[in-house]
Amino acid sequence: MTYSESNRQNRSSLLPMFITLAVMVAGVVLLVLTTPEATLRERFLVIPFGWLRFLLGFILVTGGIGLSAYFYGRATRPGKANDYAISAATHLFMIVVLLLAFYPIIYLLSVSFNRNNALAGSLPREGSVLVRSGVLPSPADFSFIQYQKVLEQTHVLGYQWIFIAIAVLAVLGVIVATVVKRSSSKPYVAERYRAIAGWTIFGSVAALVLSINPSQFYGVNEAGERTTASSEKMIILYIRNTLLVSGLTGLFAVLISTTAGYAFARFKFEGRYSTLLTFVFVQMFPNFMALVAIYYLMTAIGLFNTFTGLILAYSGGAIAFASWIFKGYLDSISPSLEEAALVDGTTRWGAFWKIILPISIPMLLFIFLLQFIGTYSEFILANILLQDNTKWTVGMGLRNFATGRFDTQWGALAASAVLGSIPIVVIFYAFQDALTGQYQEGGVKG
């Protein structure tokens, strides 16, 4: 067979794939062109049987892509044709599911950059159907005014700008190190710099959190006098409070769970098994059952309306679960590591400090982040124990936008929610590799 005959045969084998794609595109175009005009019904733009058209379009595109992949596989690798079809259709389905899952986040961002402060405002009369229905934001309404509203009474000191600059540069360093790692022949060097940048973010943010205080949040009246900032404009202070409480809770959970988990995993003592069963039994009850007892206890010992009381309340519920997790992790590590260190002359504490803790960094970070995220978004306990609005957490601050004398301030609420989510995103992105690192490999001789 000549080269030209081979090309003609390949083109003819791929012809069904191109026909399928053409039919799919024609069907989608037909659905779009035959869509009836949308009508406004109770401040909502409604397309008659729009859900049915979306479903038909989704089935048409998914089936067309899957069938095209099947024809491509039959022309190139006949034994893999079915696998190609299933893989293509599955990938397209997962992409649509992910887009639908991320849509609330996208809409939250769009609301935060909208000049209107209410979701029930008039819909735009120009643009595509998605814009006129409010599914996608109107470019004409794009504005930073919501962020200006929630930040206008925040006053950052000079040295705090230095901490912010260091954190921003460290975030850029993490991004650059990630890109270099994927294309470099020595990824471990990029990973080392990424780890340094991650700890730099942690240190600069910690210094910034400790330096912020309520006196930096105020307004200025016409006479030039300082006035107390409204609670809707202290979101940065609430983020600082939440980072402080969640960070100390995470550190306290790591401190207690490592020692308690190590004792349960390596030592044999009276009451060990019953204590572990008690830990499991306690986890069966929801936390809100202890709210009255926690309130009475904190009031009796003088820790009501204090960060210390809230941290202790959070930590009490975290110790049992975190200790159980760390004990299970240590059960998977061979005791020969510590036995070898003891033979070399170290103490039990030295084996724990120099052997167990370094190889347990991924689990320690997991425990810290687990407690950090759990307390960062907690609302009920904080709402009971904290009364002073200068000590509110992010959840209480966001609630305040929906419980005022007027309608819910959706724009300011969205902007504050975006600002409050930034620390979580940065922390996860900076330490994502550390959570999956394999520090135990090669730890035993022989």
Segment 212-216 mean pLDDT? 89
- At residue 329, the pLDDT reads 87
Tell me which residue range forms the domain holding 414: 151-155+217-436
Residue 177 near residue 197, CB atoms below 8 Å:
yes
Of 79 and 445, more confident: 79
- The residues pairing with 45 across neighbouring beta strands, listed in sequence order, are 40
- Average the pLDDT over each of 127-131, 172-176, 301-305, 427-431 and give the range with the smallest value: 127-131
- At residue 438, the pLDDT reads 38
pLDDT at 290 over 80: yes
Task: Assign residue 384 the CATH number of its domain.
Answer: 1.10.3720.10
Domain assignment of residue 134, yes or no: no
- At residue 445, the pLDDT reads 43
Segment 208-214 mean pLDDT? 89
pLDDT at 304 over 90: yes
Domain assignment of residue 177, yes or no: no
- At residue 107, the pLDDT reads 80
- At residue 306, the pLDDT reads 92
pLDDT in tens, 59-111: 898 889 988 888 888 888 878 888 888 888 888 888 888 888 888 888 888 88
Domain assignment of residue 103, yes or no: yes
- At residue 96, the pLDDT reads 85
Residue 320 near residue 283, CB atoms below 8 Å:
yes
Of 23 and 181, more confident: 23
- Average the pLDDT over each of 13-17, 146-150, 155-159 and give the range with the smallest value: 13-17
pLDDT in tens, 321-330: 888 888 888 8
What pTM was computed for the model?
0.78
- At residue 161, the pLDDT reads 93
Segment 391-420 mean pLDDT? 81
* Domain identity same for 92 and 230: no
- The residues pairing with 337 across neighbouring beta strands, listed in sequence order, are none
Domain assignment of residue 174, yes or no: no
* Domain identity same for 225 and 352: yes
* Domain identity same for 232 and 89: no
- At residue 127, the pLDDT reads 64
- The residues pairing with 226 across neighbouring beta strands, listed in sequence order, are 220
pLDDT at 436 over 60: no
What average pLDDT is seen over the chain?
A: 81
Name residue 157's amino acid: L
Domain boundary among 107, 141, 165: 107
pLDDT in tens, 151-182: 888 998 989 999 999 988 988 888 888 788 77
* Domain identity same for 224 and 97: no
pLDDT at 310 over 70: yes
Instruction: Tell me the percentage of the chain whose pLDDT exceeds 70.
Output: 86
- At residue 44, the pLDDT reads 65
Segment 339-368 mean pLDDT? 85
Domain assignment of residue 127, yes or no: no
Domain count within the chain: 2
Domain assignment of residue 395, yes or no: yes
pLDDT at 41 over 80: no
User: Residue 246: CB partners within 8 Å, gap ≥ 6?
Assistant: 371, 372, 373, 375, 376
Residue 356 near residue 330, CB atoms below 8 Å:
yes
Domain boundary among 40, 75, 107: 107
pLDDT in tens, 222-248: 887 888 888 888 999 999 999 999 989
User: Residue 56: CB partners within 8 Å, gap ≥ 6?
Assistant: 31
Looking up tokens 């989510």 gives 421
Domain assignment of residue 314, yes or no: yes
Domain assignment of residue 113, yes or no: no
Name residue 82's amino acid: N
The Cα 325–Cα 333 span in angstroms is: 13
Q: Which two tokens stand for residue 5?
A: 């005959």
pLDDT at 132 over 70: no
pLDDT at 354 over 50: yes
Residue 296 vs residues 162, 301, 391, 406: alpha-carbon distances, Å: 43, 9, 20, 34
* Domain identity same for 223 and 101: no
Residue 413 confidence class, pLDDT cut points 50, 70, 90 = confident
Segment 196-209 mean pLDDT? 86
Segment 355-362 mean pLDDT? 85
- At residue 439, the pLDDT reads 40
